[in-house]
Amino acid sequence: MATQQEVTNNKTKNRVLIVDDHPIVRQGLKGLISQAPDLMVCGEAETIFDALKAIDQLKPDVAVVDISLKGESGVDLIKDIRIRYPDLPVLTLSMYDEAIYAERVLRAGARGYVTKEEAAENVLQAIRQVLNGQIFLSERMSAKMLSKLVGGKTDAAGLSVDRLSDRELQIFELIGRGMSTRMIAETLHLSIKTVESHRANIKEKLQIDSATELLQHAIHWLQSQG
């Protein structure tokens, strides 16, 4: 049974909800957060449905969300949170390159982006920063976005995945994982025709001519994400 002092301490701590589909990652993050004097983990979830249910029941102060959730998109979850719980700050914690996803998650409603390769103290700093109503990005990404805002320029790379929509990028990732059009349709609960349309758009935006070339590019991109 918790002592009165423990109950009092817990009331002063900010409550963190962890949303990640990898149990080992959740365990490691929970251990890290539990050591912080001002933070505590109030719950965990690995799907969009479970995350929204946990938010409703547990009333966390901040949600730490991964981008990839068992075939679902963490970006979609962030958009749902912004609509249903506009006062709940979201920090995205992901294995993917910040340069690819940071701007996307900020547009979706997140307050920050930190990669899983960051030092533990940086992760805690990111959580505290978004709790305080601030945006958290690496210095490199902050400079890049500021330069883009001031200069109005995009990356010069002709095959940049920045051109893809959130859904197209999600499908591009699944193609890189070797999934067929039918498998992608079943995973994302879309029609085969819709997936085929997205594939055509991806090929056009990335200037790719064939399905084989698309698969090769998708595999190469996925491998580059670590």
Q: How confident is the model at residue 226 (pLDDT cuts 50, 70, 90)?
A: low
Which CATH fold would you assign to the domain 4-148? Rossmann fold (3.40.50)
Q: How far apart are CA 22 and CA 69, in angstroms?
A: 9
**Per residue in 76-117, pLDDT tens?**
999 999 999 999 999 998 887 777 788 889 989 999 999 888
What pLDDT score was predicted for residue 7?
41
Q: What mean pLDDT value characterizes the chain?
A: 84
Helix, strand, coil shares, percent, the chain, to 5: 55, 15, 30
Which of 59, 64, 56, 116 is CA-nearest to residue 90? 64
Which of 77, 84, 76, 37 is CA-nearest to residue 59? 84
Phi, psi (rounded to 5 degrees) for 19: -120, 105
Residue 136 is classified by DSSP as B
**Per residue in 27-60, pLDDT tens?**
999 999 999 999 999 999 999 999 999 999 999 9
Retrieve residue 111's tokens. 């307050």
Of the CA atoms within 13 Å of residue 211, those in its CB half-sphere come to 8
Structural contact between residues 84 and 112, judged by C-beta atoms closer than 8 angstroms: no
Residue ranges of domains in the chain: 4-148, 161-224
Neighbours of 37 (CB within 10 A): 8
The whole model's pTM is what?
Answer: 0.69
CATH of 161-224, one of 1.10.10.10, 1.20.5.510, 3.30.565.10, 3.40.50.300: 1.10.10.10
- For residue 162, pLDDT over 70 is answered with yes
Tokens 């883009």 — which residue?
Answer: 148
What pLDDT score was predicted for residue 159?
52
